[in-house]
Amino acid sequence: MTQALFGQLLVGLINGSFYALLSLGLAIIFGLLDVVNFAHGAQYMLGAYLAWMGLTWLGIGYWVALFAAPAAVGILGMAVERLLLRRLRGLDNLYGLLLTFGLALAVEGLFRQGFGISGNSYPVPAQLTGAKNLGFMVLPIYRAWVVVASLVVCFSSWLVIEKTRLGAYLRAGTENPRMLQAFGVNVPLMFTVTYGFGAALAAFAGVMAAPVYQVTPTMGSQVIIVVFAVVVIGGMGSILGAIVTGLGLGLLEGAAKFFWPEISGTVVFIAMALVLLLRPAGLFGRQR
């Protein structure tokens, strides 16, 4: 009984860790660039595939992939911002949404073409195999690592944004990029780097997800819908909101799986509807 509950809560916490990582990137990108980045799921999937390709074709292991794949996807993201998204600045943010959605479809299509839709599995790295019996439940080491690593990444990102000068630029740019640029800050470069960072976060989540879920071309589009719900519930552009809501909704899903399994797939969207009714700006959002 409690074994099963804790098991579901753990699964929820794992999912929540991925939601938090992904919605953090989305929130940062939306906040500064005013771009609703629908390519986020594709960037997550790319991270997982790069790790898988590295291991299968080149023998590059998990730990290298954990840094190399986000770096590669981050550079790709910067190119996308510089070459494509920048041209849409000043237009309604619907255009950015459509562009990134199109990119996501194109990338997903290419991977489907190349790899088919059946999943590829990725082994858990040797250092993190096995499980620990905690008495009330069995905790696989890799899953504990996912939770800890994503918490560390999320909260250090939050600290940097709230407490450093770089973060002050980011917050100021989120409010009024033109004013910031008039002070002499290279805001266009900030936009490019921020988009790249968001994409890299997604890819980092993708590499971490590879041993947990199947590596498939559609893994990104499956998770991205929930992640958008997380961002809406947390409050568009709110960093802390994205992190807390991501973890919270993962747990909510886990609890639902135990208490009322039929609703577990929709509970996030019910929460979203309720939050939109009661607090349209989101739990942590400020009314603009």
CB of 189 to other proteins, least distance (A): 9
Residue 235 falls in which region: left (phi positive, over 0), alpha (psi -120 to 50) or beta? left
Comparing CB distances to other proteins, the nearer of 116 and 162 is: 162
Which tokens hold the place of 113? 């073409």
**At a CB cut-off of 8 Å and minimum separation 6, what does 75 contact?**
196
Smallest separation, CB 29 to other proteins (Å): 18
> In whole angstroms, how close is the CB of 187 to other proteins at the nearest point?
6
Closest distance to other proteins from the beta carbon of 144 (Å): 35
- Closer to other proteins at the Cβ: 174 or 264? 174
Binding mask 269-288 for other proteins (x = CB under 8 A): -----------------x--
Give helix 40-53 / helix 187-209 axis angle, nearest 10°.
Answer: 50
Within 9-38, the residues that bind other proteins by CB under 8 A are: none
| Tokens found for residue 29 | 């990108």
**160/179 with CB nearer other proteins:** 179
CB-based contact 87:35 (threshold 8 Å): no
Q: Which is nearer to other proteins, 180 or 210 (CB)?
A: 180
Among 133, 135, 184, 262, binds other proteins (CB under 8 A): 184
Shortest reach from residue 123's CB to other proteins, in Å: 44
**Least separation, in Å, of the C-beta of 31 and other proteins?**
10
- Interface residue with other proteins among 188, 218, 273, 281 (CB under 8 A) is 188
- Using rule CB under 8 A, residue 95 touches other proteins: no
Binding residues for other proteins, rule CB under 8 A, total 20
Backbone angles phi, psi at 22, to 5 degrees: -70, -40
221 binds other proteins (CB under 8 A): no
Do residues 81 and 37 make contact, with C-beta atoms less than 8 angstroms apart?
A: no
Establish if 218 lies at the interface with other proteins (CB under 8 A): no
Residue 181 in tokens: 């640029």
Which contiguous run of DSSP H or E holds residue 130? none
Minimum CB–partner distance for residue 178 and other proteins (Å): 6
* Shorter beta-carbon distance to other proteins: residue 114 or 178: 178
CA 164 to chain centre: 23
58 part of the interface to other proteins, by CB under 8 A: no
HSE value, Cβ hemisphere, 13 Å, CA-based, for 190: 21
The label of the residue with tokens 């809406």 reads 232
Cβ-contact 57, 49 below 8 angstroms: no
In whole angstroms, how close is the CB of 249 to other proteins at the nearest point? 25
Q: Are 132 and 141 in contact (CB under 8 A)?
A: yes
Which segment (80-88, 143-151, 183-191, 277-285) binds other proteins by CB under 8 A? 183-191
Footprint (CB under 8 A) of other proteins, residues 119-178 = 165, 168-169, 171-172, 174-176, 178
Burial code (b: 16+ CB inside 10 Å, e: under 16) for 224-261 equals bebbbbbbbbbbbbbbbbbbbbbbbbbbbbbbbbbeee
Interface ranges with other proteins (CB under 8 A): 165, 168-169, 171-172, 174-176, 178-188, 286
